[in-house]
Amino acid sequence: MTVQTFTPSATKAASENTVTQPTHTTDVSMKKLYIETQGCQMNEYDSHRMADLLGDSYGYVLTTNPNEADILLMNTCSIREKAQEKVFSELGRWRKLKEQNPDLVIGVGGCVASQEGDNIQKRAPYVDMVFGPQTLHRLPQMLDQHQAQVEKPKKEKIKLVDISFPDIEKFDFLPEPRVEGFKAFVSIMEGCSKYCSFCVVPYTRGEEVSRPLDDVLAEIAGLAEKGVREISLLGQNVNGYRGETFEGGICTFPELLRLVAEIPGIGRLRYTTSHPLEFSDELIQCYRDLPQMVSHLHLPVQSGSNDVLQAMKRNHTIDVYIDKIAKLRKVRPDMHLSSDFIIGFPGETDEHFAETLQFIKDLDFDHSYSFVYSKRPGTPASELPDDTPEQVKKDRLAQVQQVIKQSSIDKTDAMLGKIERVLIEKVSDKDPNLLIGTADNTRLVTFIGDAAWVGRFAEIEITEIKTLNLVYGELLNLEPDVA
Ligand code: SAH
Ligand code: F3S
């Protein structure tokens, strides 16, 4: 498992593995479910929904120990080759568990499942179920089918593979999300229709489909009633949101933000991820008008070179990105900006790379993610000639990461003496007089306070910088509860 020292709450590198954590204590006699999640926030979200589904339908409880599980599920990522390779090595380990316990059920979901389909079972015949990101709601039925044919001879068994894209029906079959704490993710759309030349997402998750407006609003209102104060709207390309309204019209992303901001209890709004092309003036006006929107934006740009952007089919130039950020910083001067960068794209020269490095310095990014380009089968970029040696790409990546890291350190240091709006999330484990919350820019803020304030927002003056992701402060003002 990759351990990160800095994990912003609304963004995440698409290469970490996580194990979905139980929130309740478990009884030893209960049936247990282990879920390993690779990849992005959308997969994290989906894994929680799988746990809710199998918990509600069959009473499975989550475990963090694969050795004691009755079902093992792997929610896979295929964004880069390395992530995809991990699937089969991990499945090899699970095979040994199945040899010890033949009743163990193994399921593979997510983007590798979507891409490989029944090839998964050809390579790993001990896998019982294969499902895609859009068919995970059918897991209970798949499990029933699996149980019904356990006793059958091998040649009579049907293969349980369902990686179709049945529009947006998934959400109609998912149970209400469980609430843990004051923050929640809400998926508003699935898939992506941008077809950047390097990216597998449109092929593995399908084209963009938005959830109907009323479903999204009802889910958020329900979460707010259960105490949630911060919502992160999720999707591969959220500003492509076109949700159908009750009257049959279409609600755009900026319109959705305005409606969410009106829901009593929602004191803070984040979203991830959006595309620069659809980062519209209407969206910028939301930052001007809605205090709930955080001064933190993750807006992937991928490269600081126009030639590379064109080859990536990003459909905008560097100037377009710079102009939009300038407009945004006009209405929100304290905006923290982070991004994704792909280094060593086919044809990236030293000059192109120098442009990217300069661009990162000029735009003054906060913590951003950077990856060496990975050739993905079936994508247009995989056909492009690529003669840059791997070592050169790795050296470029190291340079970019150094600049990004320094920039994040500078951003944390600059918080000294500033006033930050903080969502108070818990009492410190170490000292009951200390409270811990998160600032807009995702840094943890610790200060002296009362446990009764947990779940509220406060203005905190930052008095000491402890680490890249942890600062100390003093309470200036406690906001009334927003509910
Ligand atoms: N809109 C999505 C993009 C998902 S992919 C989002 O940002 O959530 C996440 C990031 O993975 C991309 O922004 C890109 O920087 C990186 N990525 C995608 N395909 C890649 C590839 N073939 N090689 C290297 N990095 C890639
Ligand atoms: Fe991938 Fe580009 Fe969409 S990076 S997710 S095709 S915006």
pLDDT tens, residue by residue, 241-256:
999 999 999 999 999 9
Question: 259 near 301, Cβ under 8 Å?
Answer: no
Handedness of CA 443, 449, 451, 455 (dihedral sign): negative
E strands in 64-133: 71-76, 105-109, 129-131
> What does the mean pLDDT of the chain come to?
91
Task: Tell me which of 57-71, 307-321, 440-454, 465-479 is least confident.
Answer: 57-71
Task: Tell me how far CA of residue 125 lies from CA of 98, 140, 232, in angstroms.
Answer: 11, 21, 38
What's the confidence (pLDDT) of residue 28?
A: 55
Measured CA to CA, the distance from residue 267 to residue 261 in angstroms comes to 8
- pLDDT, mean of residues 435-447: 98
pTM (2 decimals)? 0.90
Q: 225-235 pLDDT, tens per residue?
A: 999 999 999 99
- Closest Cα to atom 2, ligand 2: which residue? 196
Of 181, 189, 184, nearest to 215 by C-alpha is 189
Distance 202 CA to ligand 2 centre (A): 7
Distance 217 CA to ligand 2 centre (A): 26
What b-and-e string marks burial along 211-249, b requiring 16 or more CB atoms within 10 Å of the CB?
bbbebbbebbeebbeeebbbbbbbbbbbbbbebbeeeee
- pLDDT, mean of residues 108-129: 92
- pLDDT, mean of residues 9-21: 57
Secondary structure letter of residue 174 according to DSSP: S
Is residue 332 in contact with ligand 2, taking CB distance under 6 Å? no
- pLDDT surpassing 50 at residue 2: no
Distance 380 CA to ligand 1 centre (A): 15
What's the confidence (pLDDT) of residue 3?
A: 27
- pLDDT surpassing 80 at residue 457: yes
- pLDDT surpassing 60 at residue 13: no
Question: 135 near 155, Cβ under 8 Å?
Answer: no
CA 360 and chain centroid, separation = 23
Q: Which atom belonging to ligand 2 lies closest to the Cα atom of 200?
A: 1
What's the confidence (pLDDT) of residue 170?
A: 72
Is residue 192 in contact with ligand 2, taking CB distance under 6 Å? yes
Task: Tell me which of 82-86, 106-110, 218-222, 371-375 is least confident.
Answer: 82-86
E strands in 207-357: 209-210, 230-234, 242-244, 250-252, 268-272, 296-298, 336-338, 340-343
Question: 110 near 39, Cβ under 8 Å?
Answer: yes
- Relative to the alpha carbon of 378, which ligand is closest? 1
Number of H helices, E strands in the chain: 13, 23
Task: Tell me which of 136-145, 343-352, 371-380 is least confident.
Answer: 136-145
Task: Tell me how far CA of residue 389 lies from CA of 348, 393, 394, in angstroms.
Answer: 11, 7, 9
Q: Which atom belonging to ligand 1 lies closest to the Cα atom of 237?
A: 1
Q: 458-479 pLDDT, tens per residue?
A: 999 999 999 999 999 999 999 9
Encoding tokens for residue 37? 């999640």
Q: 154-170 pLDDT, tens per residue?
A: 777 788 888 887 766 77
- pLDDT, mean of residues 34-52: 92
Helices 41-58 and 139-148, interaxial angle, to 10°?
50
Report residue 431's pLDDT band, with 50, 70 and 90 as the boundaries.
very high
Task: Tell me how far CA of residue 445 lies from CA of 7, 101, 277, 415, in angstroms.
Answer: 14, 46, 34, 11
Q: Which helix (H) or strand (E) holds 139?
A: helix 139-148
What's the confidence (pLDDT) of residue 381?
A: 98
What's the confidence (pLDDT) of residue 27?
A: 56
Greater confidence, 23 or 171? 171
What's the confidence (pLDDT) of residue 65?
A: 94
- Closest Cα to atom 3, ligand 1: which residue? 236
Give phi and psi for 239, each to the nearest 5: -80, 0
Pocket perturbation via mutation, ligand 2, pick of 195, 200, 203, 298 by most ligand atoms within 8 A of CB: 195
Measured CA to CA, the distance from residue 437 to residue 425 in angstroms comes to 5
Question: What is the percent of the chain with per-residue pLDDT over 90, rounded to a whole number?
Answer: 77
- Closest Cα to atom 10, ligand 1: which residue? 340
Q: 382-413 pLDDT, tens per residue?
A: 999 999 999 999 999 999 999 999 999 999 99
Cis peptide before 273 (omega within 30 of 0): yes
- In one letter, which amino acid is 389? P
Degrees to nearest 5, angle at CA 181 with 180 and 183: 100
- pLDDT surpassing 90 at residue 178: no
Task: Tell me which of 94-108, 160-174, 346-360, 389-403 is least confident.
Answer: 160-174
What's the confidence (pLDDT) of residue 201?
A: 93
Pocket perturbation via mutation, ligand 2, pick of 199, 241, 279 by most ligand atoms within 8 A of CB: 199
- Closest Cα to atom 15, ligand 1: which residue? 340
| Length of the chain measured in residues | 483
Task: Ligand 1: list residues with CB < 6 Å.
Answer: 14, 40, 79-80, 198-199, 201, 236-237, 273, 300, 302, 340, 342, 371, 373-374, 376
Encoding tokens for residue 460? 């905190």
Give phi and psi for 13, each to the nearest 5: -65, 140
- pLDDT surpassing 80 at residue 171: no
What's the confidence (pLDDT) of residue 347?
A: 96
- pLDDT, mean of residues 21-25: 61
- pLDDT surpassing 90 at residue 426: yes
Distance 254 CA to ligand 2 centre (A): 20
- Relative to the alpha carbon of 274, which ligand is closest? 1
Is residue 126 in contact with ligand 2, taking CB distance under 6 Å? no
- Closest Cα to atom 18, ligand 1: which residue? 199
What's the confidence (pLDDT) of residue 1?
A: 30
- Closest Cα to atom 7, ligand 2: which residue? 194
What's the confidence (pLDDT) of residue 10?
A: 39
- Relative to the alpha carbon of 313, which ligand is closest? 2
Encoding tokens for residue 172? 């109609």
Is residue 237 in contact with ligand 2, taking CB distance under 6 Å? yes
